[in-house]
Each structure stands twice: as C-alpha cells, then as structure tokens.
Amino acid sequence: MEELNGTDLPVIDLSLFSSKNVDQNQLESHEFNKLRQACQELGFFLVINHGVDATLIQSVECRIRDMFALPAEIKNRAIFPIFNTGYGPSVVDDVAKDSIPENMSFPWDHLLPNSVEKISAKLWPQGNPAFCEELNAYGAQIKELSHRILKLLVWSLGVDVSSQSASELFEKSFGNVRMNYYDKCTDKEMISKAHTDVSFFTILYQDDIGGLQIRTKQGKWMDSKPLPGSFVINVGDILQMWSNGRNRSAEHRVVYGRSNRNRLSMAYFFDLPDEFEIRCPKEMIDQEHPQLYKVVTKGDTVAYFKKVGPNMATPQHFRLQ
Ligand code: OGA
Ligand code: NI
C-alpha cells in the first residue's frame, strides 16, 4: 500500500477524475484501480482536491468547538427523540472499557428538516445566524462532493450511473452530519466503541489530533494519520450489501484522551431513508458472485443497529446462507 505524508490510507486525487463520463480506458486507469482496491481491501481511503473550501472547514470547526464548549444544561436542550438527531452526551461503558463521544447530529434534508436552524434555536434562543449560514454552506458543499464520490463508486463497480439502481441512490439519498467531540483526559487513554457505519458511505473530516484506527482484513488495528486538506471516506454497511459484498464496510474506532485538546471530527453519513430497499444491481450478481444478502430495507438495518448497538455484524446478520 502506498505511503504519503505520514498517512497509511490510499490517497485518491479527485482532480484526476472527470465528473462527466468515463470510458473503458479510464475505468482501467491507475487511479480507478486504486479506488476499487481501497474499497475492496480496506474499505477506507482519503480524498484530496475535493473542492470543499478549506477556510469554510476551518471556520465551521471553530464554531462547532464553541458549540461543544457550551454548558451541559444548554446542550441538553438539543436532545431530540429522533434517531441520530441533535445532541448526544458522551457515554462511558466501564464494563466494555469503551465509550461513545459527545455528539451533535444535523440530518440535512430528512428526519428533521431545517435541523441546523432548529438545533441552533435550542442552543442560542437569541439566534446565531452566522452558525446556521456557515453550517448550511458546509452541508451544501459536502453534499456536492458526496454525489461526485457516489458516481466514482458506482462506476468503479462497473454499474451504469444512469441505471435505475444507481439513479435511485442519487434521488433518494440524504446527508446527516454528526459532530463527534472526544474528551482530552490527558491522564489516560480512551477508546471509542468499535463499529461499522450504517451509511452507504461516510465522508469524515478529522482534526489534526489523530487516533482513528481501522481493522484490516487480517484483524489488525491500523492507524490512519490525519492528512491536512483531506477527507477520510469509508464504505458503509449499505454499500457492502449493495455491492454484493465486493466493497468492505470496515470496523473502526478512535483512540483518544492523551492530547491537550479535545478531538473533533465531523462525519457526513451518505444515507438512505428507512423505506429504501437494499437490492444489489444485476451487474453485481453472476455465477462467481451469487447473491449474498437478503433484500431488506434500510429501516431493517437500523432496527438491528438499535437492538444491538454499535457493531460490526450488520451485513453478516442479513446474509442469505
Ligand atoms: C463515526 C466515526 C470517527 C471519528 O462518527 O461513525 O467513526 O474519527 N467517527 O470520529
Ligand atoms: Ni464510524
């Protein structure tokens, strides 16, 4: 695997791909092969030259740090009785010796429409238009990036982007941004709960503190060192199922606590609504690749997640044999 600037993950340069169409030559190019291999072997890669404004990212990071610095009684006002929406205080599991970081989720155009305005109104009743404006601008830019990445993922699997199977991904998907805030404990190391993402794929911004680890096929924990200016992309459970097991939704976790600053990450889950049927395209099934998973809805996978908690067994649970 290639090494670049101290990171362990394959780096995909998005400026090398045309956004319009691809021909057979491009599909067999070095960059496409690298992407395909990253999705199949590791389930994680980095993207650079992604088009999201660096100044905006920096500014949003400051605003989110300020948000988490609010007193607990204010943040608690942003708890919503909707899955993956609003504030979640940190949870430390003393038995399993792991944790869930403090988090705040903004489901963009689903679950809770205008979630940025609604959540910010709970935190700042006097209003915070700059927070809303910047966060919405960030969401819009990441959404655009997510569609570029989806196109590449679909192409890399040899599926026609204008097919019914692919078009419905573009039409029905929505984004949910989850901000994670990991406490500096300084005296001890903490580990967040290992899990795979229930998303189709995830676009993750992490600050410069580091700590993200990915479980390789060989079962080893591998460090993913932050590469300034990049986003981490990972295959989620739904993509693993949609690709009939070709792409790998990898287990990951964060080791943190020893820094003198709290660690911040912003995960954009490229997601599908509960009624979406996870049915792999016909191109994914042949003699060599018999259908691996039952056709279930996204809601079925969420129900399983809610039952067992963060886990690494969702696709396995829905296997046919
Ligand atoms: C997540 C996640 C990793 C990180 O939010 O699902 O895995 O670096 N986050 O915070
Ligand atoms: Ni995750």
Kindly give, in sequence order, each residue whose CB lies less than 8 Å from that of residue 125, ignoring residues fewer than 6 positions away.
Answer: none
Q: What is the pLDDT of residue 198?
A: 93
Q: What is the pLDDT of residue 313?
A: 82
Query: Nearest ligand to the C-alpha of residue 100?
Result: 1
The tokens of 299 are what?
A: 């809601």
> Does the beta carbon of 99 lie inside 6 Å of ligand 1?
no
Q: What is the pLDDT of residue 306?
A: 87
Q: Please tell me the distance from the alpha carbon of residue 283 to that of residue 159, in angstroms, as a whole number.
A: 6
Query: Nearest ligand to the C-alpha of residue 268?
Result: 1
The tokens of 196 are what?
A: 């795979």
> Does the beta carbon of 238 lie inside 6 Å of ligand 1?
no
Could you list the beta-strand ranges (E) of the chain.
11-13, 44-48, 86-88, 91-93, 98-100, 102-107, 174-182, 190-191, 201-206, 212-215, 221-223, 231-235, 252-256, 263-271, 277-278, 296-297
Predicted TM-score of the model (pTM): 0.95
Q: Please tell me the distance from the alpha carbon of residue 14 to that of residue 20, in angstroms, as a whole number.
A: 13
The tens-digit pLDDT sequence of the chain (321 residues) is 343 334 579 999 999 987 777 888 888 899 999 999 999 999 999 999 999 999 999 999 999 999 999 999 999 999 999 888 999 999 999 998 999 999 999 997 777 889 999 999 999 999 999 999 999 999 999 999 999 999 999 999 999 999 999 999 999 999 999 999 999 998 899 999 999 999 999 999 999 999 999 999 999 999 999 999 999 999 999 999 999 999 999 999 999 999 999 999 999 999 999 999 999 999 999 999 999 999 999 999 999 988 888 777 899 999 997
Q: Ligand 2 centroid vs 252 CA: distance in angstroms?
A: 6
Protein residue with its CA nearest to atom 5 in ligand 1: 267
> Does the beta carbon of 252 lie inside 6 Å of ligand 1?
yes
Q: What is the pLDDT of residue 152?
A: 96
Q: Ligand 2 centroid vs 157 CA: distance in angstroms?
A: 23
**Angle at CA of residue 52, ends 278 and 35, nearest 5°:** 50
Angle 30-37/129-156 helices, nearest 10 degrees? 100
